[in-house]
Amino acid sequence: MEAEIGIIGGSGLYSLLDEEYVRKSQFFNTAHGQHSGPATLGEIDGKNVIFIPRHGSKHQFPPHNIPYKANIHLFEKFGVKRIIAPCAAGSLQPSIKPGEFVICDQFVDRTHGRDDTFFHGPDVAHISSADPYCPEMRKVAVESCKRLKIPHHEQGTCVVINGPRFSTKAESQWFHNNGWEVINMTQYPECVLAREKGMCYLNISLITDYDAGLEGHPEVEPVSAEDVAEIFSRNIDSVKKLIFDIVGNMPERSCECSKALEEARL
């Protein structure tokens, strides 16, 4: 069975498909080791999909140790062309509130030590990351948010920190002053690895907190893991409805993302 759409569940989203939609759920071998959790193959609105939990079914993989390459390679094996990747994220700006969604269009990488490419030589490719998130999928996601009346922001820059710790107040203030909107621990290298494989990639950031607080708002407490879990669980139904609506309205044809590798070699 091939699957045209891959879905990666973030913190709090460890399963997606009810039994009526599932065809099989198991682990598969990849050239980059075992993927992070059981791969569930099924169908949404007549389209074959494959779902995996990013952090594992019991949240056993911290952000810096997620088997990103195995996850993306698994999707490649099943013929995935488009990836929907929701995640829990913090807000860096007062105008972006917990419970709202951000459809990111840019990221800033602040991670270190992660294996972030499939091209370690002698095959070398310099992938363009100018527009890392698929514009076509972002448009579909925005329209779905409007249709479902989900509070959302049509664009935003996600700064990706290494984790598993949260930011200091000084770090958070620096990110805020740079004008970045969202903070997360898993968008890199997942997004770029997908691009190296010619897959369209969509991020949906569910805002769960205000990171280390907001300057001038002493009543806003720094984030805790408990806060993230509570807000995400409160919005899990909206996340699932959005994913199903996006899948149902996804165009059949591939976009320019599929050609990223063609222009990446010297």
Q: What is the pLDDT of residues 54-89, one digit of tens each?
A: 999 999 999 999 999 999 999 999 999 999 999 999
What integer pLDDT is reported at residue 112 of this predicted model? 97
CB 198 within 8 A of CB 118: no
Q: Which of 76-85, 146-155, 206-215 has the lowest mean pLDDT?
A: 206-215
Catalytic residue among 123, 209, 237, 245: 209
- The span from the CA of 207 to the CA of 160, in Å, is 14
Please give the residue that has the higher pLDDT: either 34 or 224.
34
- The tokens for 161 are 């920190």
Residue 18 annotated to the active site: no
Residue 245 annotated to the active site: no
Q: Which of 184-188, 210-214, 224-228 has the highest mean pLDDT?
A: 184-188
- Categorize the per-residue pLDDT at 216 as very low, low, confident or very high, splitting at 50, 70 and 90: low
Q: Is the pLDDT of residue 22 over 70?
A: no
Look at residues 211, 209, 247, 213 and name the one whose alpha carbon lies nearest to residue 227.
209
**Number of Cβ atoms within 10 Å of the Cβ of 263:** 10
C-alpha separations of 52 from 13, 25, 209, 258 in Å = 9, 9, 24, 22
What integer pLDDT is reported at residue 95 of this predicted model? 94
Q: Is the pLDDT of residue 40 over 60?
A: yes
What integer pLDDT is reported at residue 1 of this predicted model? 74
DSSP code of 220?
S
Residue with tokens 């800033």: 108
Check whether domain 5-263 has CATH 3.40.950.10, yes or no: no
The pairing of beta strand 47-53 with beta strand 200-209? unpaired
pTM of the model: 0.93
- The tokens for 216 are 């001038």
In total, the chain counts a number of residues equal to 266
- The span from the CA of 264 to the CA of 85, in Å, is 24
Catalytic residue among 18, 115, 116, 211: 211
Residue extents of the structural domains in the chain = 5-263
- Categorize the per-residue pLDDT at 262 as very low, low, confident or very high, splitting at 50, 70 and 90: confident
